[in-house]
Structure 1
Amino acid sequence: MPCGRAHGLLSVFVSMALAIAAVSSTGKQRTEPPPVPESNPPMVSFKPPRIWDSPSTDPLVMNASAALRDAGYHIMGAAFDMFAAEVLPSGPATFFAINDPALVNITLPSWLMLNLLRYHTATEMLLWNDLQILTAATCLPTRLHGKGLVVTGVQTVNSTVALNGVAVSHPDIFAAGGLAIHGVHQPFYYLDPSLDQIRFDSLPFPSCNDSDFLPLPNARAPMQRHDHSSTTSRLWRRLQLALRVNGCLSFYMAMSLQIERLNASLAEATGNSRGKVTVFAPVDSYAGLSSASALIGENLRFHVVPQRLTVADLCRFPARHKIPTLFHGHNLEITCPGDFRPLVINNVMVVRPDAFVTDDFVLHGISGALDPLNVTTTT
């Protein structure tokens, strides 16, 4: 499909999906045509692209699209129906459908729409039970060549699974014929229609060929993992991955420049540089950070705690409990209000709790940078 002719393709999907939803919800109730309004509403002319003349006739695709619409995923249902032949692999697959509210105000060029669908399609069939037994740092190859989805959190107690920091919100929408479909609240990467193809290709997507990631259990072609670095290096590199996939790019860049100093501070705090850590990293979309300059030196180390602490661990502490950081003598104050209200660290909200959890570290996304100047120091 020519790119120029389809710059508004996602908007078309939105209009058609909403129309389908309206017809579906009212068609069974009407026995007579609706009355003609006194004044005609404004008409929107649309000449469909050629692909709309031949929607899929594959029974599997038709059933999957119908299941998506029945579950309220009208935009993804329409897109899947049209692009399934270009998105699905020849073998098993898992498609992660984006919820309608995340897409209604977005217009995408056709190449970005196609890449969006491919990146949300894993090349193995994974039911909800399969996803729940994966471990953090497991990489799922996708139909977007060379790009992977990374498991960033699995909590069996709360029955939650997150990929690239985005939770699966509607499991097992469809499962048949080697295809599984699950719903997610938002895309696995930030949708920016101003991206060109070159800048898109340079985005820091995870690659399943990276030796720091775990292959899918029983995958048809399991990847060989090579331990070519120390435990400490793997710790920081996996942290860098977690920061990238959770939208903490400013913190990622700052940490990349200071890993040796972080190693030294960790060794000083724990007696060795192989200790476990918890990182509170500002999420760029909340914090509005445009550079890593605000996270240099002590400011960065103030965001790192030499203990592994999940949200459950943090909320076991008494109110206003203080925990030490890698900035010697400076503590973080923990407030866990409960009642479904967010955890607060030094008056800064935790907006992505347990965003990435491994045996060695926990990453929490926060709404802004922590200021070591506004705390009481200890000796």
Structure 2
Amino acid sequence: MASSLLVSFLLLSFLSFASPLPSDTILDAAEILSDSGFVSMALTLEIVSQTLTVQSPSLTIFAPNDAAFSQAGQPSLSLLQFHFCPIPLPLESLKLLSTGTKIPTLLSGHSLIVTSSPSSDQISLNNVKITGGSPIYDDGSMIIFGIEDFFDPNFGLPVPIGSPRSTPRCGSSSTNGSMDFPGVSWFEGASAALRSNGHSVMASFLDLQLEGFKEPTMMTIFAPVDQSMVNPMKNVSVFLRHVVPCKLLWNDLVNFDDGTVLPTYSNGFTITVTRSDSVLMLNGVPVFFPNMYFSDPLVVHGLNEVLAVQEKPKEMAELFYWTGEDGDQMLLGNDEF
């Protein structure tokens, strides 16, 4: 379990960015990339360094080889962001990550997925192999690995490009805190995903809901990491505050307008969707692991913080939106459910 939580612990350690990487580091890395046969990525790193590297004081960069650049052409800025991880990941740490572990990137809402096992001699992310037996560059703050092709940002997404996205349907949230949970098989999958990604406290809360199953329903769980949960057992309502009575995939969330309000199973507590510099925020907290787990009735998204109560007029706290099949939104009051 410790190896499964490695990425979450590392990222939390680097959330408070102190300063960008020094320019000397970028120049040294670019020179070594070029000398190692990654000329296209070396030139690209120099060009985008002022744009991408200022976002973090440390990075792991996955560099496609020159053949990949020749075939795909010059990548977009967003595609390059998908190849930059905001934490240093030594080779030894990558080897410890279990299959399915998600690695954050600078592309908002997109994570790399480990597709190799710790017992494998070859490490792969998004089914793309890391080449060579060691990093191309490693000074502790910046680590660069060679890869045989560009990563696909759509790898592992539940809704392929061109297919219909699910229609979110938010029903009423229970006033007494009871919930109709999906089938046990879906529950077990969600609980396992939570535990393997550093959300054991929320998984434990989910375990406690096994008693009293009713008819299956749809729901979305926004799960804070364990480190953000202070004395969680003294405030069991924290679980209900992070569960929405409808299925909302990442593609659904990013298409909501700013100010959209979602109901929860905690009576009177709502979640407001906003954006800050294009980053999707829920009550001011960004989604860290989109689509951590998803099944027919259930979706789990990971958060770095607990959702806090938002300051708003009482009458606004009693309203939320519902999205119909045609995509139109309707503002509803709690008394309409």
Does the TM-score normalized on the shorter chain lie above 0.5? no
TM-score between both structures, scaled by the size of structure 2: 0.44
Structure whose CA Rg is larger = 1
TM-score between both structures, scaled by the size of structure 1: 0.40
Larger relative contact order (CA 8 Å, sep ≥ 6): 2
